[in-house]
Structure formats: structure tokens, C-alpha cells
């Protein structure tokens, strides 16, 4: 179900700006329409409106469109912080509001993953937020998606010391199973937990990377099985991986380098 407060026109405008961000040399009107999937006439009206305010530039009529200098002026008003929880909160809150399911932020600290923020749905049937709880690198979606992107030596150390507690009948326990699962997570870019920690619940998670492109945390969402479907799962995965990619880009933009990820 789409967010009742979502304004489609703003979403399309953001799509145009982000597409131009990814194409710094600029794009033609036709190229923009093709890459965003929007109608050419609609893209043209949006571009002309943004040009009026200085957010889009064009050297001559018919030439490529590029982001304008006003974007930099606008960015100067962004309040930066060194707190990953604060930086991630707009993304976790938006994600929870979109799907109306509890959403969790886990952060890597001294080689451990800890749930530090929860945006909890108000539905009657909901999963209780594990605020302050430690992730299970072999079982939780939040933990798997962090461990899968550990440096190779850290992953090997983790496998030697990991306590594979059987949380449910579906929990992965053997080293071979866990290594295969982490490899699958790295390949597809997200992790799932299908009743491996809580019977009757499925969790999906995607990784967060800092400015040095090192894993620093994850965002996950929990859905009670009665509300889950393959179609909903596909929508969540698409939105979740995109949100975490945007958050990682934002961390890079503000030069956020995560400290204390591992004990040295």
C-alpha cells in the first residue's frame, strides 16, 4: 500500500535530480525521460521549473541539462552530525511509514552488531523492537548482512568464535551453511531471516557503508508472517536496498567514517 502522504510529483522531481547527479556531464531531454521512465513533456516542464530557480543549468537551447550551482547553495544548509543513528533516522522513519512495519537500525561496534534505533509500527500485531539487543551474525537478517561484508580476515575470525545458538528449528548452525548464506547475501545485496530467530516472523535487511566504503550497520524490517507475501517482499527489498544505498551515499557526502567498527 503506497504512503498516503506521498506526493508523486515530488518523487518524480527527485528522480530527475538524482539521475542528473549520476550523470555529471549532463543528459538530453530524451535521455532523461528514458532513464527516469517519465513522459518527455512532464520531464521538460519539471526541468524548466527547476531552471527558473537555478537548480538546473543548460548552456544553450537543445544542449544537455546539468545540475545547477543552486544545488550547492542549498546543500550548505544541511546540518551534519557524526552520529550514525541521527543520520539514519530519516531513512528508517520513512521506511516504517511506507510499509507500516517496525524498522530497525543496527550499528557495528567493536566487532559486535547492536540494535540502536527502532521505528515501531502501531499495528496491533507487531514485532517488539529489540532496542539494545545484540545481533546474531548467523541468524538475524541485520547480522547476516553486516557479516557478509566484513573484511576477509575479520570474517574468518568471526567464524572461529561464533556461537551458533539454535534460536528456532530453522536457525543455520553449521559453518558451511553460514558461509554459503553470507556468500549469497554478498551476491544479492540483502539478507533475509525466515523464522530463524522468531517463529511466525520474517525479516529483511540491507547494508550501510561509510565514506570509506566499509560496512558500518544495517537497516532491517520485520513483518509478521500473516501479513507477508512474495509480492510484498519484493517491494520491500527494492525499497530497502535503495534506501540503504542513498544513506551510504549521504554518509559519503558528509565524509562520515565509522569509528570502533572492530577492536584492533
Alpha-carbon gap, residue 141 to 218, rounded angstroms: 9
Alpha-carbon gap, residue 72 to 246, rounded angstroms: 18
Per-residue pLDDT, 165: 78
Per-residue pLDDT, 110: 84
Exposure class string for 53-84: b at 16+ Cβ within 10 A, else e: eebbbbeeeeebbbbbeebeeeeeeeeeeeeb
* Full domain range(s) for residue 45: 8-75
pLDDT tens string 72-87: 778 666 554 568 898 9
Per-residue pLDDT, 246: 94
Quick check: is 149 in a domain? yes
Could you tell me how far CA 120 lies from the centroid of its own chain?
17
DSSP character string of 53-71:
TTSEEESSTTS-EEE-THH
Are residues 34 and 142 both part of a single domain? no
Pick the last residue of a domain from 36, 58, 75: 75
Quick check: is 263 in a domain? no
pLDDT at 129 over 80: no
Alpha-carbon gap, residue 68 to 56, rounded angstroms: 4
Quick check: is 13 in a domain? yes
pTM: 0.71
User: In whole angstroms, how far apart are CA 211 and each of 78, 138, 172, 208, 251?
Assistant: 17, 26, 32, 10, 6
Are residues 145 and 246 both part of a single domain? yes
Q: How many independent structural domains does the chain possess?
A: 2
44-55 mean pLDDT: 93
Per-residue pLDDT, 1: 43
pLDDT at 214 over 90: yes
198-208 mean pLDDT: 95
155-179 mean pLDDT: 88
User: In whole angstroms, how far apart are CA 16 and each of 29, 58, 100?
Assistant: 11, 15, 27
Are residues 137 and 242 both part of a single domain? yes
* Average confidence score pLDDT of the chain: 89
CATH code of the domain in which 100 resides: 3.30.450.40
Q: Which ranges constitute the DSSP H helices of the chain?
A: 8-21, 29-36, 40-52, 70-75, 84-99, 141-147, 152-161, 175-188, 230-253
233-248 mean pLDDT: 95
pLDDT band at 124 (very low <50, low <70, confident <90, very high): confident
Are residues 90 and 107 both part of a single domain? yes
Is the model more confident about 182 or about 59?
182
Per-residue pLDDT, 164: 76
Could you tell me how far CA 237 lies from the centroid of its own chain?
9
Alpha-carbon gap, residue 25 to 57, rounded angstroms: 11
Quick check: is 3 in a domain? no
pLDDT tens string 84-114: 898 999 999 999 999 999 999 999 988 889 9
pLDDT at 16 over 70: yes
Alpha-carbon gap, residue 225 to 233, rounded angstroms: 11
Backbone angles phi, psi at 50, to 5 degrees: -70, -35
Amino acid at each position: 500500500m503506497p504512503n498516503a502522504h506521498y506526493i508523486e510529483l515530488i518523487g518524480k522531481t527527485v528522480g530527475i535530480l538524482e539521475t542528473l547527479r549520476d550523470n555529471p556531464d549532463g543528459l538530453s531531454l530524451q535521455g532523461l525521460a528514458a532513464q527516469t521512465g517519465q513522459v518527455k513533456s512532464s520531464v521538460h516542464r519539471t526541468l524548466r521549473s527547476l531552471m527558473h530557480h537555478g537548480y538546473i543549468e543548460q548552456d544553450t537551447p537543445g544542449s544537455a541539462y546539468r545540475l545547477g550551482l543552486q544545488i550547492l547553495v542549498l546543500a550548505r544548509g544541511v546540518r551534519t552530525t557524526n552520529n550514525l543513528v541521527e543520520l539514519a533516522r530519516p531513512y528508517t522513519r520513512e521506511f516504517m511509514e511506507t510499509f507500516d512495519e517496525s524498522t530497525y537500525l543496527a550499528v557495528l561496534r567493536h566487532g559486535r552488531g547492536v540494535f540502536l534505533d527502532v521505528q515501531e509500527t502501531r499495528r496491533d500485531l507487531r514485532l517488539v523492537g529489540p532496542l539494545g539487543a545484540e545481533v546474531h551474525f548467523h541468524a538475524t537478517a541485520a547480522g547476516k548482512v553486516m557479516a557478509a561484508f566484513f573484511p576477509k580476515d575479520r570474517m574468518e575470525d568471526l567464524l572461529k568464535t561464533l556461537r551458533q545458538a539454535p534460536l528456532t528449528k530453522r536457525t543455520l548452525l553449521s559453518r558451511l551453511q553460514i558461509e554459503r548464506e553470507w556468500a549469497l547475501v554478498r551476491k544479492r545485496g540483502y539478507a533475509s531471516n525466515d523464522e530463524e530467530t522468531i517463529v511466525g516472523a520474517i525479516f529483511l535487511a540491507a547494508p550501510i557503508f561509510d565514506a570509506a566504503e566499509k560496512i558500518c550497520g544495517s537497516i532491517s524490517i520485520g513483518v509478521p508472517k500473516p501479513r507477508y507475501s512474495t509480492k510484498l517482499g519484493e517491494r520491500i527489498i527494492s525499497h530497502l536496498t535503495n534506501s540503504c544505498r542513498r544513506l551510504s551515499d549521504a554518509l559519503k557526502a558528509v565524509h562520515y567514517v565509522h569509528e570502533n567498527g572492530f577492536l584492533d
